[in-house]
Structure formats: structure tokens, C-alpha cells
Amino acid sequence: MDDEQKKLYNEWRTIEEDLRKTIIQYSDIEKAKQIRPRVWGELKNYLSVAEKFELGASLEKPLKEIFDKKYPPDSWPLAKQWATKAIHRASGGFNFLLECLEHIHRGSTDPAYSRSAYILLSINCELLFEAYLLLLLKDDHARKTEEELMELLKGKRNHDLKELAEKIGEDDLIKLGIKSVNVETKNDLKRYIIVLANDEKIIVEDLVTVRYDFKYDRRRDIDPDESNRMKKELDHLFKTTKIVMEMVPK
């Protein structure tokens, strides 16, 4: 990129980061609408795979136009193909959840809204962890068969974030800014506590438990600031997602 292109790129990234903040300014939305088509037209060939997908998705471009070929390509090991699809789905899922928290579930714990929000958070955290685990596989292991990869992701217990975290390992979790993933039961509901490097926490309800919470007599504690808390948690997850996206093959 030349200096003018770098200036345009940096301006675009700054606006995209501003749109990730808890409070979104209308002026930032308008700036994004103006700058995204320029970046697509002038910088598309300079963008990483993740950035190209992010920008193309925001402009509602079809995959064929985003990549001009099959993506991810069949020449990649199956693990890399799955990881690429998983992390993009997680990114889209987190963005959708943020929209829900901005415009629908905007307050305290709610029997219906909270359950739906926790399902979205849980399934996309699982996709994030699975994508990272698959990308960490060395080339010889990354060429495992579909059955072998399914067994790796499934593990002993379905949808278990702690087990996925253990497979990733402490050293690689730290690279994501995650210190540990712990499991606890509160009000008969199983959930995971993701402890970040700065000791802040992300609460993720177990996907199986939250889907079938009608079986349990007890309910979640009321959190008057639930939607704002979840938006702050999403801010960390967006940063983590970006790290994993940058690992996707170019």
C-alpha cells in the first residue's frame, strides 16, 4: 500500500473498532457506510482473508464476489477448511448477538430474551474454541479424516467448553488472553466461567443445559445490568475472534 492507501485503511479500521464499542454513535455508522465501498474498491486485494470476509459481509457481497473462487479451497487440509468456516460463523454470531443486545434485550434478566441470548453466546463461543483448536493442529494432524476431526471436537461430553479448553492447552489459551475456563453449577444450571488475563470474567451457560432449562425448577438470578455486562463480554470475544481469524491461511 502507498501512504494514501494506508491512511484509508487505518481510517476504516478505526471506524470498525468504534462500531464494536458498547455505545455506538450514529456518526460512526454513517462514516462506515461511506468508507466501506471505498475500501472495497481500492484496497480489496491488500486485505487479509478475515478482513475481506468482514468487509464483504458488511456490504452484503456474495462469497463468490468476495473471494472470486471457492472458499475455503479444497486444497486446504480439512481441519483448516472447517476452522475457517467455524470462525466466520462465530464472528457473524457474535455480531448478531450484539445487535440483539443493542435493540431487543437491553436491560435486566428476562425469562425469554436471556435464554435466547445465552444460547447464541454459548454456541458461538464453542465455534470460536473449535476453530482455534483446529487451526493449532500441525499439518500432519490437520489432514485427519472427517470422522477423526468429529471425534476430536466431540470429546467425552458434547458442547463442553472446559474440555475444549483443556485440548487447546494453557499456553495457547494465554495467547487468546484467556487464563482459564472453569465449570460451575448455579441454581441447578451448569455454566462456564472464562477467566481473562486481566481477571475479568465471561459467563457462558452450558449449551445443553440452557436449551433444556425447562427441566429445572430453579431459575437464573436477576442481573439488572445483564445486557450491558454481556456487551462488555462480547467486546473481549471480538478481540479473541480477531486473533483466531488472523491465523486463517491467506
Q: Which residue has the cell 468504534?
A: 18
Q: Which three cell numbers stand for residue 15?
A: 471506524
Residue 121 has pLDDT above 90, yes or no: yes
Q: Please tell me the total number of residues recorded for the chain in this structure.
A: 250
Three-state SS letters, 99-123 = HHHHHCCCCCCCCCHHHHHHHHHHH
Q: Which residue's entry shows cell 460463523?
A: 89
Tens digit of each residue's pLDDT (9 = 90 or more) over 13-29: 888 888 776 566 777 78
Average pLDDT over residues 206-215: 79
pLDDT given at position 47: 85
CA of 75: how far to CAs of 2, 57, 79, 138, 247, in Å?
32, 24, 11, 16, 17
| DSSP output for 202-242 | EEEE-HHHHHTGGG-S--PPP-TTHHHHHHHHHHHHHHHHH
Q: What angle do CA 208, 210, 214 make, to 5 degrees?
A: 105
Q: Does the model's pTM come out above 0.85?
A: no
- pLDDT (0 to 100) of residue 219: 67
pLDDT at residue 216, as a whole number? 67
What are the boundaries of each domain within the chain? 3-67, 78-245
Nearest to 87 by CA among 197, 246, 236: 246
Average pLDDT of the residues in 92-100:
87
**Region 218-233: what's the mean pLDDT?**
78
- Would you say residue 218 has pLDDT above 70? no
- pLDDT mean over 135-156: 79
Asked if residue 127 has pLDDT above 90, the reply is yes
4-13 mean pLDDT: 91
- The stretch 37-44 carries a mean pLDDT of 91
The three cell numbers locating residue 64: 463468490
